[in-house]
């Protein structure tokens, strides 16, 4: 490869259509990093929308630098993860550290924005737009520093991992992680750049979401004994889930490092019946629970399932033999409980200078990497309080802090760095 190719900047394709390309420069940020953030935000990757255009744009820009990307798709073909490696100076591609982020964003439907959410805009020291905080800010700053990663004499490789469908239950990253494991690639650590105000997060809860369908038997409402009311039995199950949540809130276990220091559960949506004068034959509802990582989520679900099948269902079938209760898992992501002794924890604490123990109730993909033996930690720009809201933003100062952190990280990964 020519010297020109080795030193050429990693630039995203220009956008001729958008005010996004008119973002003003910021004295504390490299123009390249900010340009990457604005370009990523300008592409609508709401989870229901294919992200392949964004992924292919990143793939092509990396290819111009001689960096090969591996894409993993789901069955739909229009959604993909990207995994790329900047090798160590000796060509080594195994080991090293992953910089991880999800490319999907939540919908803007029904939200009152003061500007177009997909035309990023700087106002009063903040970059506004869907995904600026969660979490294209981190991805963009990492991409902007790829030339510096390549110019460094890396002792160990740096990997970039971009995923899809994180916002609907971390559904995309497992495809990528399975492919890495199949290749025998075993990173030594992972930094997930979710918004944490650039403070290390060492633990988060697990996410478990289910859909339940309660099937009864329809009848005219004047003949209720001839029917089986699915809504009423679904209500009993929903109340059981609430009772379970109340018990966990009352009895624990507890971890006071969390803002909500116990496992939670709730019913989120419900629908059933078709007319006021008909005994409803079906009721469907969705529920979730967020477990402390020290608790087994399967054991929690087993308590709900056991009540449904051993207590409610026999009662229902005495009224009508065709009664049924069926559960479908919608989403599942394991919790994270990082070891303070792990090298990646020590590294991020050293780079940030932050020794406080912080744990959060929201989930990330860090638990997925940790589950396959890749020690992980969460640290990225922005405040989670700004995520998912109208007028989502990230402070430019946070992007600047992220850039400084990543530069320190690159130096720490280089030959001759002090442990």
Q: Which of 104, 134, 392, 395 is catalytic?
A: 104
| Residue keyed to tokens 């006071």 | 256
pLDDT tens digits for range 22-51: 333 444 677 889 999 999 999 999 999 999
pLDDT at 69 over 60: yes
Distances (CA, A) of 190 to 219, 239, 348: 57, 40, 10
- Indicate if the pLDDT at residue 158 is higher than 50: yes
DSSP-derived 3-state class of residue 307: helix
CB distance 164 to 79 below 8 Å: yes
What residue has token string 């079906």?
Answer: 282
pLDDT at 19 over 80: no
By the 10 Å C-beta count (0-12 exposed, 13-18 middle, 19+ buried), 277 is classed as exposed
User: Per the confidence metrics, is the pTM higher than 0.75?
Assistant: yes
Q: Which of 134, 166, 188, 288 is catalytic?
A: 166
Beta bridge partners of 333: 207
Residue pLDDT, tens place only, 352-401:
999 999 999 999 999 999 999 999 999 999 999 999 999 999 999 999 99
Residues 56-80, mean pLDDT to the nearest whole number? 96
104 annotated active-site: yes
The domains of the chain, with CATH numbers, are 3-203+335-412 (3.40.630.10), 206-333 (3.30.70.360)
Q: Give Cα separations from 6 to 93, 156, 415 (angstroms).
A: 18, 18, 19
Q: How much is the pLDDT for 30?
A: 78
CA distance 83 to 411: 22
* Whether 101 contacts 192, CB under 8 Å: yes
271 is a catalytic site residue: no
pLDDT bucket at 10, cuts 50 / 70 / 90: low
Q: What is the pLDDT of residues 237-286, one digit of tens each?
A: 999 999 999 999 999 999 999 989 999 999 999 999 999 999 999 999 99
Backbone angles phi, psi at 303, to 5 degrees: -65, -40
Residue 341 pLDDT level (bands cut at 50, 70, 90): very high
Burial class (CB in 10 A: 0-12, 13-18, 19+), 12: buried
**pLDDT the model gives residue 29:** 79
Query: For the chain, give me the number of helices (H) and strands (E)?
Result: 12, 18
* Mean pLDDT for the stretch of residues 170-184: 96
Please give the Cα distance from 393 to 309 (Å, whole number): 46
* pLDDT at residue 28, as a whole number: 67
Does the structure show a pLDDT above 80 at 117? yes
Query: How many alpha carbons fall within 13 Å on the CB side of residue 177?
Result: 20
Q: Other CB atoms closer than 10 Å to residue 319's CB: what's the count?
A: 15
Strand order in the sheet with 282-291: 264-272, 282-291, 206-215, 324-333
pLDDT at 21: 33
């Amino acid at each position: 490869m020519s010297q020109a190719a080795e030193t050429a900047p990693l630039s995203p394709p220009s956008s001729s259509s958008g005010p996004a390309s008119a973002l003003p420069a910021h004295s504390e940020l490299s123009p390249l990093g900010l340009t990457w953030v604005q370009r990523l935000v300008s592409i609508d990757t709401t989870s229901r929308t294919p992200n392949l255009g964004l992924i292919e744009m990143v793939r092509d820009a990396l290819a111009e630098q001689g960096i090969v990307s591996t894409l993993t798709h789901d069955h739909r073909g229009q959604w993909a993860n990207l995994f790329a490696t900047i090798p160590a100076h000796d060509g080594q591609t195994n080991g090293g550290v992953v910089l991880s982020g999800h490319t999907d964003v939540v919908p803007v439907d029904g939200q009152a924005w003061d500007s177009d959410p997909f035309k990023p805009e700087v106002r009063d020291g903040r970059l506004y737009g869907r995904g600026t905080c969660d979490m294209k800010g981190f991805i963009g700053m990492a991409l902007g520093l790829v030339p510096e990663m390549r110019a460094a004499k890396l002792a160990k490789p740096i990997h970039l991992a971009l995923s899809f469908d994180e916002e609907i239950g971390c559904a995309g990253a497992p495809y990528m992680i399975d492919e890495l494991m199949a290749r025998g690639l075993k990173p030594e650590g992972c930094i997930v750049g979710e918004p944490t105000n650039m403070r290390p997060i060492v633990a988060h809860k697990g996410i478990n979401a289910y859909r339940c369908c309660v099937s009864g038997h329809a009848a005219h409402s004047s003949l209720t004994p001839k029917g089986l009311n699915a809504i009423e039995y679904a209500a009993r199950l929903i109340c059981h889930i609430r009772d379970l949540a109340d018990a966990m809130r009352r009895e624990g276990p507890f971890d006071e490092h969390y803002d909500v220091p116990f496992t939670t559960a709730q019913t989120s949506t419900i629908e059933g019946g078709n007319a006021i004068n008909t005994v409803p034959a079906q009721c469907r509802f969705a529920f979730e629970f967020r477990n402390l990582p020290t608790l087994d989520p399967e054991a929690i679900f087993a308590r709900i399932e056991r009540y449904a099948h051993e207590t409610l269902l026999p009662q229902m079938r005495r009224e009508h033999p065709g009664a049924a209760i069926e559960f479908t898992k919608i989403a599942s992501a394991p919790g994270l409980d990082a070891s303070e002794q792990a090298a990646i924890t020590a590294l991020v604490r050293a780079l940030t200078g932050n020794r406080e123990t912080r744990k959060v109730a929201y989930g990330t993909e860090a638990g997925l990497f940790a589950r396959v033996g890749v020690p992980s930690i969460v640290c990225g720009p922005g405040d989670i309080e700004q995520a998912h809201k109208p007028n989502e933003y990230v402070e430019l100062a946070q992007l600047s802090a992220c850039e400084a952190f990543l530069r320190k990280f690159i130096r720490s990964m280089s030959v001759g760095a002090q442990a």
